[in-house]
Amino acid sequence: MASSHQASGVRPERLSAAEIAENFGDLHAPFDAHEAAVAADRCYFCYDAPCMTACPTSIDIPQFIREIQGGHAESAAKTILNQNILGGMCARVCPTETLCEEVCVREVAEGKPVEIGRLQRYATDMLMEKGVHPFTRAAATGKKIAVVGAGPAGLSAAHRLAMKGHDVTVFEYKSKAGGLNEFGIAAYKSTNDFAAREVSWLMQIGGITVEYDKGFGKGLSIDGLKADFDAVFLSIGLAGVNALRAEGEDKDGVRDAVDFIEELRQAKDLSTLPVGRNVVVIGGGMTAVDAAVQSKLLGAENVTIAYRRGRDAMGASRFEQDLAASKGVKLMFNVMPKAIHGEGSSSEIELEYTEVVDGRVKGTGETIRLAADQVFKAIGQTLEGAPQGVEVVGGKIQVSGTGRTSVAGVWAGGDCASGGEDLTVTAVAEGRDAAEDIHASLMG
């Protein structure tokens, strides 16, 4: 972890509070009723809808769009939330352009899909704004379940288990619930404290208690949880960050991108957030784009994403890449960090050009230097603090299709577990499906 001292070119208030407020406005303005009706009218309501198959939570998309078309936004929301209790956040952060909208028949035929994500947001926002919680708890079962981690997978599991009549205690390592929804995604995707509001709304089901500043290494053990609860669900995320393995990585001005994004998401006044004049982000995923774009929005003059492979290998979708470019971020491909230069703090980064041989990245020996008073590492996160006894394979907790771990009575899901892509929507599906399996195994 780089020290907390700022590199010389890193400072707050590069832009006025008014400029920053404008920069961090909602990425996609929400639909009004008329716009939603027009967008819904474009749906063909396909019988074997490919969009449903592409959705990790299998939302009945034609059904909810038909309900919007008929003027029943609240029943549309219930159709969505029945499959995806965090449907409001997923409507904002889901890479719909590579999931449901990519396979939309109108996208394939005309190059312009039905705007499924924005329609989903319209319906869920309408319901949440009324303060309505459309689900009720079943009769109490007397069973107690522990959920470790209050991110998307944990919240999804907790809600489904509470709905089934179980008593759920969620243990959260931080002092606030939400996981990556609260701490890890760009502020312009989740405005007006939406993540926290969605958590409060979800808790209206009842039967869920959250205990903060608790986790493995903070008072919890698997044996203790198994003794006190009938089942345990682990959704501890990925807390570690991979090292750059470049000389000078410990200099001031070099930070983990996730720490920067978390600080930004929790800041009361974004103009007080220090940012460099010349920012370089190492990585090619969503986190890299979020860190780069937000640096630019805070007033950094030159922002570059440096990625070790070609464009097509980037984890960030083409939409995210184009978003970065539209905000003035430069994308560099086939380069990897060799060294960070500067007296005590970063002033330049030395990058080596790469080639990919038999699928592996190799340096070519040719280098280039860029001014960099701030360097963000966004090269993937690692599992930290997995409890003893739970089998870990390839840096993830090993699970079956329904989330069962190697330890009887213990399930896992979300980014910490083996399985699908590390997406909010996938985590929600894994939490929901594990909850159904936990319920079935407890109730015989």
Return the pLDDT at 6: 64
Return the pLDDT at 66: 98
Q: What is the pLDDT of residues 369-410, one digit of tens each?
A: 999 999 999 999 999 999 999 999 999 999 999 999 999 999
Residue with tokens 């079962």: 141
Distances (CA, A) of 380 to 89, 229, 240, 272, 425: 22, 33, 9, 28, 19
User: Which pair of structure tokens corresponds to residue 211?
Assistant: 């205990």
User: Which pair of structure tokens corresponds to residue 246?
Assistant: 């470049």
Relative orientation angle of helices 424-443 and 152-163, to the nearest 10 degrees? 30
The whole-number average pLDDT for the span 35-51 is 97
User: Which pair of structure tokens corresponds to residue 37?
Assistant: 């009706």
Kindly tell me if the per-residue pLDDT of 212 is higher than 50: yes
pTM reported for the whole predicted model: 0.96
Q: How far apart are CA 136 and CA 157, in angstroms?
A: 15
Spatial strand order of the sheet with 348-357 comes to 335-341, 348-357, 360-371
Which DSSP letter does residue 342 get? S
Domains and CATH numbers, the chain: 33-129 (1.10.1060.10), 144-239+383-443 (3.50.50.60), 242-377 (3.50.50.60)
Kindly tell me if the per-residue pLDDT of 328 is higher than 50: yes
Identify the band that residue 9 occupies on the pLDDT scale cut at 50, 70 and 90: confident
Q: What is the pLDDT of residues 75-91, one digit of tens each?
A: 999 999 999 999 999 99
Q: For the chain, what's the residue count?
A: 444
Return the pLDDT at 27: 94
Q: Kindly report the number of other CB atoms within 10 A of residue 41's CB atom.
A: 11
Identify the band that residue 7 occupies on the pLDDT scale cut at 50, 70 and 90: low
Tell me the three state secondary structure of residue 62: helix
- 109 burial (CB, 10 Å; 0-12 / 13-18 / 19+) is exposed
Q: Kindly report the number of other CB atoms within 10 A of residue 8's CB atom.
A: 17
Percent of residues, the chain, with pLDDT higher than 70: 98
Distances (CA, A) of 295 to 44, 277, 328: 41, 9, 11
Q: What is the pLDDT of residues 331-377, one digit of tens each?
A: 999 999 999 999 999 999 999 999 999 999 999 999 999 999 999 99
- 6 burial (CB, 10 Å; 0-12 / 13-18 / 19+) is middle
Kindly tell me if the per-residue pLDDT of 4 is higher than 80: no
Identify the band that residue 444 occupies on the pLDDT scale cut at 50, 70 and 90: confident
Q: What is the pLDDT of residues 162-189, one digit of tens each?
A: 999 999 999 999 999 999 999 999 999 9
Q: What is the pLDDT of residues 224-233, one digit of tens each?
A: 999 999 999 9
Q: Kindly report the number of other CB atoms within 10 A of residue 47's CB atom.
A: 6
Cβ contact 93:124 at 8 Å: no
What is the average pLDDT value for the chain, to the nearest integer? 96
Return the pLDDT at 420: 80
Kindly tell me if the per-residue pLDDT of 8 is higher than 80: no
Cβ contact 202:85 at 8 Å: yes
